[in-house]
Structure 1
Amino acid sequence: MTKNSRSSKAASTKAPAKAERATATSDGKKPSGKATGTAHADAAHLSTTNNALVDHAYLSETQFGTVAETLQRNLATSISLYLKFKKYHWDIRGRFFRDLHLAYDEFIEEIFPSIDEQAERLVALGGSPAAAPADIERYSVVKVPTETVRDARAQVADLVQDLTRVGKGYRDDSKTVDDAEDPATADMYNGYAQTVDKIRWMLQAIMDDEQMN
């Protein structure tokens, strides 16, 4: 046998082991699904290095896909809502300046923790948040204004509309992930819905002030 033949034979015996390692999950099992690129909501399922190592604990691939879609969307929405409150916090003018300038930051403090919590929940289930600015804009149901809005009533009315949509989204997503056998994420969403509903109520009450008309 020639030297080249021996080298070729050795390489061929090593190849299957390498392939086996590449397709193993972190618990030693075969992955339940293959990376399929942009069809999935989270970055963990893009066709990049080491994504074959992802597992989803007690969720099936289908269940994870359902839960991940809601987490990615709600994460992006929470970030956008934070930025929108900050934008209006900076731009507010007029007799309601001090009240709303301070109130917006108080509301932000209640919303802000959900950003990290939702991202880490996605990671805990074997996902990876898509967090580039373009991804946030694509997934979020809240749009951060590019124009300057100084009027108090215009700001508050816009935020009430957003919070109505976000609160309903959390309520609907709670049922969706519960049906996907993920009650832990459902509980998270129920808590966020309560927070969003409270902030919406407070802003709606401000609009009842006759001086704002």
Structure 2
Amino acid sequence: MRGFIHYQSISYIRSLKMIPPATVFGVWIFLLYAYSNVPILSSFAVSSMAVYLVMTWLAMTVFSIEEETEKNMLFVQLNSKTRYLLGKWAICLFFAVLFMALAILYPLGIDSFRGPIRPIHIGLSIYSHLFLAWFGILVGTFFSVTSFSTRKYTWLSALLVVTISLSYEGLVEKIYLLKWILFIFPPVTHTLSYLKEDEIVQLDGTFMQLAIWVMVYSVIGTVIVMRLYLRKER
């Protein structure tokens, strides 16, 4: 498994497919903190959304570095289709951690924030960046390795899911019934709901309910994507 991850990492880096998403994310973060005295939590909310978008993009490129024949050869070498998927996810998570580190540590290093940083700020920033990164990986995987992926509309479909999940609150306000339809989309706005204001001093029961839903969705989403992938590769 380590050999596969190492091989895939080298192949991905050599393919140069990581450069566009990494460049876009880096520019996004540098522009976000181009000025000092920016609000803390709302800035982390913006960088979390950037992680979500970029990790969707990056995950799709990670799954596109080999052709079908080479992929089948890797299945044989690994003796497990599940290991192939987990190895790909490991690579995605590695880059997600790098993006998270840049998004959180860069503004701290250049002292961009308005007011002092408290542990609750750091905790919420890690929470939002981590789950939105994973949501992005799941969306990218869903439109890369399942039967729902089509070469012609893959990128457009992924962009549509990202856009709808980011616009959840606005859509529900206009048409309330959409609340019961859009629950299948990643709960991005639920994850970011406590990053709108910087006056938070403690987290209440509502936050715990939202956090539980976010974690449950992550687990269920992971299981569903894995099963759809294995069904397609039968």
Using the size of structure 1 for normalisation, the TM-score is 0.32
Tell me: higher relative CO, structure 1 or 2? Use CA pairs within 8 A at least 6 residues apart.
2
Using the size of structure 2 for normalisation, the TM-score is 0.30
* Structure with greater helix percent: 2
Work out which of the two has the higher radius of gyration on C-alpha atoms and give 1 or 2.
Answer: 1
